[in-house]
Chains A and B, each alone.
Chain A
Amino acid sequence: MRNLGIFIACAGALLAQPVLAQRAPFESPLKPDLGKLPLTAGFTDVDGAGGGGLVPWAIITGYGTSDSWGANVHYTLVPLNDFRLQSYGFAVGALDRIEASFTQDKFDATGTPLNGLSVRQQIYGLKLRLSGDAVYDQDSWLPQTAVGLQYKRNTGISNEAGLTSPLQVGADGDSGTDFYLSATKVLLAQSVLIDVTLRYTRANEFGLLGFGGDLGQGRSVEPETTVAYLVNRKLAVGAEYRAKPRNLSVDDERGAWDAFIAWTPSRFGSLVAGYANLGSILSPVTQEPRSQSGAYLSLQAGF
């Protein structure tokens, strides 16, 4: 009889609030909370870091908030006039504080006398958010800031010309580490995102042609920037610039830029499409002085 009374009381309590569930979904920090707003987790840059296309942002990748975590995989394709860059990898963001990423690059010559050359590189990335919140701190001009590093390692060159190492084109090393400081701000009232990144690097063509060289062995500070306009909750358009050092006499290396449109239909994925111009590549060797430009396509799937 007493049990029946408790049963009725419980059933009554449940019926009184039929719609309102318990707070269960966000309790465990191990459970992905998909808690960020769509678009605000950014995309995957060419080195595998959370960011735009060429530039890493201070934003931690994935849709996990400071109570949780997120992760994603990516595939990026940049078919240029005489070369093709592909990259794929994965990234994890935890507690909206730290990001770790792994990316495999494959860079192929598809034209010029270098046709058939194929360079592989692995990139291990780490990023730590230092301060601020790009989205919420709308009453302040202070950006979100982060520091990061990218360890890059040449994992092989295949071709018919006997080229096996970036050292053969004059590079000083076949592995190296970039360090960067990023500041990202969403100016929500203007629907604009701005990122400024300073990279301390000696990578030649993103590291694909080794590190340092006959023209310069040490690292230099290179500026990078993204400016994007938020068109709606799922769509952004923007442009980026990334300066690069020039360390090799066989490569008249220039800065790279892009213009993109990014679409995030849901927190589970995004697509970035655009135009990329990486400047001329190895033109003293290829006798092809034009800028290497073409489409930029990047797919990201995750949570």
Chain B
Amino acid sequence: MHLGVLVLVSTLSLATPTRSAPLFEEMGGAAALHSAVDDFTDIVVADSRINFTFAETDLAKFKTLLYEQLCELSGGPCHYTGRDMRTAHQKLQITTAEFNALAEDLYVALGHAGVPYRLQNKLMAKLAPMKRDIVK
């Protein structure tokens, strides 16, 4: 029992957030995020699990809005100007599997852009609750 408690406590203390630069800067700033968004869009359009949900999407506009959103969420100097998530996805009837496929593609793109996994997870932690608004 003592071991379990010890591991738990030490992990929690490791997990305590430290004061540092915003996630946006940690991830590599505008250059890394633009690169990730561009790559992500390419990956999604080639992903047969979900690309049909982008059939009527203006990809240039999508990239701009996604960049704004990820930048703002990670504490960067941006303001998301798109629709709220519920309105934007209402017609698409997105499933949990499709939401997860998209998340997986974003993980891959962030990795390609040089964002370390632990920072990918920090960003994903901010995106994950959006599932409630995005999935039908």
Contact = CB atoms under 8 A, between A and B. Distances in A.
B81 interface: no
Contacts of B132: 136
A8 B131 CA distance: 40
Q: What secondary structure prevails in chain A residues at the interface with B?
A: loop
Is the interface on chain A under 10, 10 to 19, 20 to 34, or 35 or more residues?
35 or more
B117 A33 contact: no
B23 to A, nearest CB: 9
B107 interface: yes
A65 B14 contact: no
A112 interface: no
Contact of B52 (A21, A96, A140, A224): A21
B90 interface: no
A233 B109 CA distance: 13
B128 A19 contact: no
Contact of B49 (A25, A138, A191): A25
B85 interface: no
Contacts of B7: 225, 227, 239, 241
A243 interface: yes
Contact of A227 (B8, B51, B54, B124): B8
Given A65-B96, A139-B129, A241 B3 contact: yes
A35 B8 contact: no
Tell me which of A21, A36, A138, A230 has the highest count of chain B C-beta atoms within 10 A of its own C-beta.
Answer: A138
A287 interface: no
Given A19-B45, A20-B54, A231-B117, A190 B14 contact: yes
B96 A188 contact: no
A205 interface: no
Is the interface on chain B under 10, 10 to 19, 20 to 34, or 35 or more residues?
35 or more
A135 B1 contact: no
B14 to A, nearest CB: 7
Contacts of B100: 35-37, 65
B52 A22 contact: yes
Contacts of A19: 45-46, 51
Interface in B106-136: 107, 117-118, 121-122, 124-126, 128-129, 131-132
Nearest to B17: A189
Interface string B83-97: 000000000010111
Nearest to A230: B121
B104 interface: yes
Nearest to A196: B8
Contact of A138 (B15, B118, B126): B126
A189 B51 contact: no
A257 B97 contact: no
Interface in B1-59: 1, 3-4, 7-8, 11, 14-15, 17, 45-46, 48-49, 51-55
Interface of B: 1, 3-4, 7-8, 11, 14-15, 17, 45-46, 48-49, 51-55, 93, 95-98, 100-101, 103-104, 107, 117-118, 121-122, 124-126, 128-129, 131-132
26 contacts: A20-B52, A22-B52, A23-B93, A34-B97, A35-B101, A36-B97, A67-B95, A135-B128, A136-B128, A138-B126, A139-B129, A140-B129, A188-B121, A189-B122, A190-B15, A190-B121, A191-B118, A192-B11, A224-B4, A225-B4, A227-B4, A227-B7, A227-B8, A230-B121, A231-B117, A240-B4
